[in-house]
Amino acid sequence: MKRKTLTQFLIEQQRKEEALPAQLRLLIEIVARACKAISHTINKGALGGNLGSLDSENVQGEVQKKLDVLANEFLIDANEWGGHLAAMASEEMDTIHRIPNRYPKGEYLLVYDPIDGSSNIDVDLSVGTIFSVLEAPADASGREIREEDFLQPGTRQVAAGYAIYGPQTLLILTVGTGVYEFTLDREMGSWVLSDERLRVPETSAEFAINMSNQRHWDAPMQRYVDECLAGKTGPRGKDFNMRWTASMVADIHRILKRGGIFMYPWDKRKPDVPGKLRLMYEANPMGFLMEQAGGVATTGYARILDVQPEKLHQRVSVIMGSREEVETVAAYHREASEST
């Protein structure tokens, strides 16, 4: 049977689900095309002369990889002219990027991490591009877009997804009607539908966390992981496996495909910072995908998609994946807050 391309799939979604306006379809096609260019550049490795770091830091204070900046430029160049965006925001840019006056403006806001996990690029581990799409506020059409126009909770996303640059190059997408996987056919240069119903198994015995931070977590987090490590004879009554690739896209993709729980919790070394990962372009898009696939995404105390952003680059504690496991962690956080 001939597989559908991304274009065919989106046109069918547009017909079937009125929720897919033409400008949103164009946005997704353009972001997908930019991810192809990013994949092509990454795959060149050392031969492309783009490995290694720049002597610059991004707004997060992280050393920028050459490919971080290049991928960010790919996404800006691909999207600026299309007339579908009102503005863009990126992990790699301090402030929002408004569409230049020489181009028409659209009704969407694109928030993205051009390359997540970029510290893995130089050692050839999977990395990815994460994106989230919001609608510009209705009153914004007659004025300049402001940063606060982006500060919408994750429930307001109209689309989200990621590209993962690994043994295969995949695009994982939701427009609110489930989670779909497209595989890049390099010979044809097209994204081909390879899985149209990603579902996260309700239960799992696989957890993902950076164990080297264990002594810095709060009590509920310690309790959950201790019980995972206690295995069959412990309170959970089953042995667990552990995976940590230090690339959110790779860990989340594994969980979307076979279940598990991903955790990047609060850490007492930075008590005023809720977590390492960013709300707008990591936790929210991944949380939308996780929920659309039947999983759960929480800060430990609240649904991630309900968090009201106060700053563009704000961080959040992230616990997401198989329902049974995430709900166990959330229950331990509730018990801890009720006992204080």
Annotated binding site for substrate: 116-119, 210, 276
* Inter-residue contact 227 to 237 (CB < 8 Å): no
For ligand P6P, the closer CB: 181 or 282 = 282
Which residue number places its CB atom closest to ligand P6P? 248
The binding site consists of: 91, 113, 115-119, 210, 276, 282
Minimum distance between the CB of residue 208 and ligand P6P, rounded to whole angstroms? 8
Binding ligand P6P by CB under 6 A: which of 152, 204, 247, 284? Answer: 247
Binding ligand P6P by CB under 6 A: which of 248, 256, 296, 316? Answer: 248
* Inter-residue contact 326 to 261 (CB < 8 Å): yes
For ligand P6P, the closer CB: 106 or 128 = 128
Binding ligand P6P by CB under 6 A: which of 246, 308, 334, 335? Answer: 246
Contact track, ligand P6P, 80-119, x by CB under 6 A: ------------------------------------xx-x
For ligand P6P, the closer CB: 115 or 173 = 115
* Inter-residue contact 96 to 74 (CB < 8 Å): no
Minimum distance between the CB of residue 237 and ligand P6P, rounded to whole angstroms? 28
The binding site for Mg(2+) consists of: 91, 113, 115-116, 282
Contact track, ligand P6P, 152-191, x by CB under 6 A: ----------------------------------------
For ligand P6P, the closer CB: 36 or 276 = 276
**CA 211, 213, 219, 221 torsion-angle sign:** negative
* Inter-residue contact 126 to 88 (CB < 8 Å): no
Minimum distance between the CB of residue 278 and ligand P6P, rounded to whole angstroms? 8
Q: Report 12-41 residues binding ligand P6P (CB under 6 A).
A: none
Q: Report 265-284 residues binding ligand P6P (CB under 6 A).
A: 276-277
Does 210 bind ligand P6P (CB under 6 A)? Our answer is yes
E-strand ranges in the chain read 53-57, 63-65, 85-90, 97-98, 108-116, 127-135, 159-165, 169-174, 180-185, 190-195, 206-208, 241-242, 261-264, 277-278, 296-298, 315-316, 318-321
Contacts of 18 (CB under 8 A, 6+ apart): none
DSSP secondary-structure letter at 2? P
What is the size of the binding site for ligand P6P (CB under 6 A)?
10
For ligand P6P, the closer CB: 248 or 304 = 248
| Burial of 253 (C-beta count, 10 Å sphere; 0-12/13-18/19+) | buried
Radius of gyration of the chain (CA): 20
Does 211 bind ligand P6P (CB under 6 A)? Our answer is no
* Inter-residue contact 222 to 214 (CB < 8 Å): yes
Helix/strand/coil for 149? helix
* Inter-residue contact 155 to 169 (CB < 8 Å): no
* Inter-residue contact 308 to 153 (CB < 8 Å): yes
Minimum distance between the CB of residue 86 and ligand P6P, rounded to whole angstroms? 27
Residues that bind ligand P6P (CB under 6 A): 116-117, 119, 210, 246-248, 264, 276-277
